[in-house]
Amino acid sequence: MNKIINKTLIAAAVATTMVAGSAQAEEITVVSWGGAYTKSQVEAYHKPWNGYTGNTVISEDYNGGLAEIKAQVEAGNVTWNLVDVELSDAVRGCDEGILEVMDHSVLPDGANGVPAAEDFLPGALAECAVGNIVWSTVFIHDESKIQGVDGLKDFFDLGKFPGKRGLRKGAKPNLELALMADGVEPADVYEVLSTEAGIDRAFAKLDTIKDSTVWWESGAQPPQLLADGEVVMTTAYNGRVFNAIASEGKPFVINWDGQVWDLDLWVIPKGAPNQEATMDFVKFSTSTKALADQASWIPYGPLRKSSFGLVSSFHSDPSLDMAPHMPTAPANFTRALQNDFEFWADNSDQLNERFNAWLTK
């Protein structure tokens, strides 16, 4: 009798082991921009998905662009499963064949039953990408040190506001900001920038503050530069600044004049391993609830319409409504410019080459 029971128990244990072995937990590496932004993704995406599936997300940071993805793909040694990129890089990487094509039909409907293709905002679903947020480049100052900053023109006015400026190291979006500061309306920026005279005009405007500029590369740097007194004004990502204000109590002020807004999207490098688990993470992280949850950690707008009404207060302060701090809030959107992803997909190499040459002059 005992032998029969023991044999039954052993058989059951073997069967259980076989089932468990066939559904072993997987590990994926998700690459993003670090700091408060990655923290919001860890809390809203990584941890819930880990708990739901038993899989593990390894989080890595980078500073954007396609160089590292391209190097992995060309070397045949892809270690990144999923990368958070700007829209122009998603389009360009797809055109260059270094990204996997995404099957949008597998994305879940919105929580209100609306199909994903209708629930996502325009531009959020690209051939090789699925969007997650709207974010913005703004400029900031420390209200305890300077007052009376009006708009983008003051960022370039060293006479009125002496001191160092902080700018992201690269052509985008500095050329756009320079033209708007020089009087070009947002609606006309890319028409002007599509001409040699317009490019010359943008660089001429940047010349006026070049010798007073501190160049930053990672999103965590601008708030720190301002806090340390290394600059009196700096461009920054709106969510990083909000985190410094809301979580750290910094006396920083966001100026939304001439904000350049953009989309970030998930992409899968060509030939990446564990693509089934990766797509499961994409489906989870771009669902209605996950996008709304992420927006409670940092004010980057969700790209699903069904998420809008679910965005509530700041995760650690129920009295702080997140909606007015989104780039797309009406009060912040009066003189806003959407990054032209097609322009940058076509011209980034040429303009970054000119920018790098300009830096060395």
Same domain, 153 and 87: no
| Residue 139 structure tokens | 């400029």
* Residue 48 maps to a domain: yes
Per-residue pLDDT tens over the stretch 229-246: 999 999 999 999 999 999
Interatomic CA distance for residues 298 and 236, integer angstroms: 14
Same domain, 117 and 144: no
Answer with the residue of higher pLDDT: 329 or 70.
70
Check residue 316 and give its pLDDT: 85
Quick count: other Cβ atoms within 10 Å of Cβ 179? 25
Q: Does the pLDDT of residue 13 top 80, yes or no? A: no
* Residue 333 maps to a domain: no
Nearest partner of 250 among 349, 145, 180, judged by Cα = 145
Question: What element of type H or E holds 314?
Answer: strand 313-314
Per-residue pLDDT tens over the stretch 50-59: 999 999 999 9
* Residue 332 maps to a domain: no
Interatomic CA distance for residues 215 and 78, integer angstroms: 31
Which is it for the CA torsion 142, 147, 152, 155, positive or negative?
Answer: negative
* Residue 330 maps to a domain: no
Q: Does the pLDDT of residue 3 top 80, yes or no? A: no
Same domain, 16 and 78: yes
pLDDT > 90 fraction of the chain, expressed in percent and rounded: 87
Same domain, 312 and 219: no
Interatomic CA distance for residues 268 and 225, integer angstroms: 33
Per-residue pLDDT tens over the stretch 279-309: 999 999 999 999 999 999 999 999 999 999 8
Same domain, 28 and 173: no
Interatomic CA distance for residues 326 and 311, integer angstroms: 10
Check residue 156 and give its pLDDT: 98
Same domain, 51 and 117: yes
Check residue 237 and give its pLDDT: 95
* Residue 225 maps to a domain: yes
Interatomic CA distance for residues 8 and 2, integer angstroms: 10
* Residue 334 maps to a domain: no
Residue 134: which pLDDT band, with cuts at 50, 70 and 90? very high
Same domain, 13 and 129: yes
* Residue 331 maps to a domain: no
Domain span including residue 148: 137-261+339-360
Same domain, 128 and 151: no
DSSP 21-69: HHT---EEEEEE--HHHHHHHIIIIIHHHHHHH--EEEEEE---SSHHH
Quick count: other Cβ atoms within 10 Å of Cβ 279? 20
Same domain, 273 and 128: yes
CATH number for the domain harbouring residue 105:
3.40.190.10
Quick count: other Cβ atoms within 10 Å of Cβ 278? 23
Same domain, 352 and 207: yes
Residue with tokens 């923290």: 39
User: Do 143 and 253 meet the contact criterion of CB atoms below 8 Å apart?
Assistant: yes
Interatomic CA distance for residues 185 and 336, integer angstroms: 10
Chain-wide mean pLDDT for the chain? 92
Same domain, 144 and 35: no
Check residue 24 and give its pLDDT: 75
Same domain, 47 and 110: yes
pTM of the model: 0.82
* Residue 94 maps to a domain: yes
Per-residue pLDDT tens over the stretch 155-192: 999 999 999 999 999 999 999 999 999 999 999 999 99
Interatomic CA distance for residues 94 and 267, integer angstroms: 9
Per the structure, how many domains does the chain have? 2
